[in-house]
Structure 1
Amino acid sequence: MSGLVDLLSSPMGKQLISGVAGQTGNSTDQTGSVLTMALPLLMGAMKKNASTPEGAQGLMSALSNKHDGSILNNLEGLFGGGVDQSVKDDGAGILGHVLGGKQAQVENALSQKSGMDTSTIATILQVAAPILLGMIGKQKQQQNVNDASGMQNLLGGMMGGGTQAHKQQSLIESFLDSDGDGSILDDVASLALGGKKGGIGGLLGGLFGK
């Protein structure tokens, strides 16, 4: 598994979506739609932060010391009795570091697009962030990434690679640098799904056998 499309369409992705849905009491379709927009946005924010040597070193340190991918080994256990507060606290810390002062803007935009309230969006992001970082940490180990350039390439590859990833990154950075209303999230999700604009529901329906 190398990218976000692979994650969302894999058995682990189904487990992630259904687990987060159970955590918030929302449908898998609603939750999957939010994650389809949110995960590339979070990864793009990480890539932007990692564009400086200090940011890249900070991310690599977090991946080496705490987010090595082990969280992915037992998602069933993670979601089985409800996600521990420690995981959500960890997610809140990741979001604060990655999104900074733009966190409320991101949550509001996702709320507008999904129809969920911002507190539910915040919970989804808090649970998803450590899992996303674990996924990146696992890829870092597998690809033996140990410098800033390698980290940029890793994140770019996970976002789809090539022109598509550059377009997606530009959209994400313009969103994070503006006070936009969230309409850009459709395009971010479209690129994350390989250009299937408007097909998010269809893709998710396919994931769950609808």
Structure 2
Amino acid sequence: MDLSSLLQGAMGQQIVGSAAKQLGINETQAQTAVGAAIPFLLTALNKNAQSGGANGINSALEKHDGNILDNLAGFLNQGGNQQDGLGILNHVLGNNQSNVANAIGKQSGLDTGQVIKILALVAPIVMGFLGKQKQQNNVQAGGITDLLGSLVGGTNAASAGVNLGGFEKFLDQDGDGKLGASDVAGLLGKFFK
């Protein structure tokens, strides 16, 4: 399983369908919001890891070990885990939550509260995905930064033992080697076509 399946495959469609149903919004809005939420969360995690938070992220991934992906439908059918999701958002985004929600809201036409709910729905899934990658590739605390860097457009995929099949280039829309606001804006029109 790679990140593109989380974004564009059947899994991505399940997440979008669930978000649309839970919030009573149309699927286009849900696709836009989910399609932006995943890269934003990965970028924030990567930034945290590079700023000395790799050990904390590694510890969190011991709890989020990827089991959520084994029964994603069950997780989504029960409405996700908003408490866990909000906790992850507090750690990952801190006081930038509303800025991220506003940016995604402008693109998707959703209000900040709706976007926060989508972020909280997606956050445990993203952590589960990372936890599964960590296990499958036997990544230790020291490799968390490389793992995250490879997912958001870094060049360290090989040293992290992760094969993304060119997905990092897909995320890096402007080709500068980093995932930033311009990349996310460029991605919004491309997800789930």
Task: Tell whether the structures are fold-level matches, with TM greater than 0.5.
Answer: yes
| Equivalent residue pairs, number | 177
Q: What displacement does 1:20 show?
A: 1.7
- Is it true that 1:167 corresponds to 2:176 in the alignment? yes
Picking from 125, 135, 143, the partner of 2:137 is: 143
RMSD: 2.1
Q: 1:2 matched to which residue of 2?
A: 2
Say if 1:69 and 1:170 are closer, same or farther in 2 by CA, change over 3 A. closer
Unaligned runs of 5+ in 2: 156-167
State, as a whole percentage, how many aligned pairs show the same letter.
42
The letter for the 2-side match of 1:78 is: F
Say if 1:189 and 1:145 are closer, same or farther in 2 by CA, change over 3 A. farther
Within a 5 Å distance, the mapping from 1:32-47 to structure 2 comes to 32-47=31-46
Q: 1:70 matched to which residue of 2?
A: 67
Contact 2:66–2:128, Cα closer than 8 Å, also in 1: yes
4+ residue runs of structure 1 moved beyond 4 angstroms? 163-166
Within a 5 Å distance, the mapping from 1:36-185 to structure 2 comes to 36-53=35-52, 55-64=53-62, 66-80=63-77, 82-83=78-79, 87-148=81-142, 150-162=143-155, 164=169, 167=176, 169=178, 171=180, 184=181
Q: 3-state DSSP class of the match of 1:47?
A: helix
Contact 1:168–1:188, Cα closer than 8 Å, also in 2: no
Q: What displacement does 1:139 show?
A: 0.4
Q: What displacement does 1:123 show?
A: 0.6
Scaled by the length of structure 1, what TM-score is found?
Answer: 0.76
Q: 1:177 matched to which residue of 2?
A: none
What CA distance in whole angstroms lies between the structure 1 residues aligned with 2:176 and 2:121? 27
Q: What displacement does 1:160 show?
A: 4.3
The letter for the 2-side match of 1:47 is: N
What CA distance in whole angstroms lies between the structure 2 residues aligned with 1:14 and 1:189? 20
Greater RCO, CA 8 A, separation 6+: 1
Q: 1:179 matched to which residue of 2?
A: none
What CA distance in whole angstroms lies between the structure 2 residues aligned with 1:189 and 1:133? 23
Q: 3-state DSSP class of the match of 1:13?
A: helix
| Deviations 1:130-174 (CA, angstroms, capped at 9, x unpaired) | 1110000000000100033x1122112223443845836352xxx
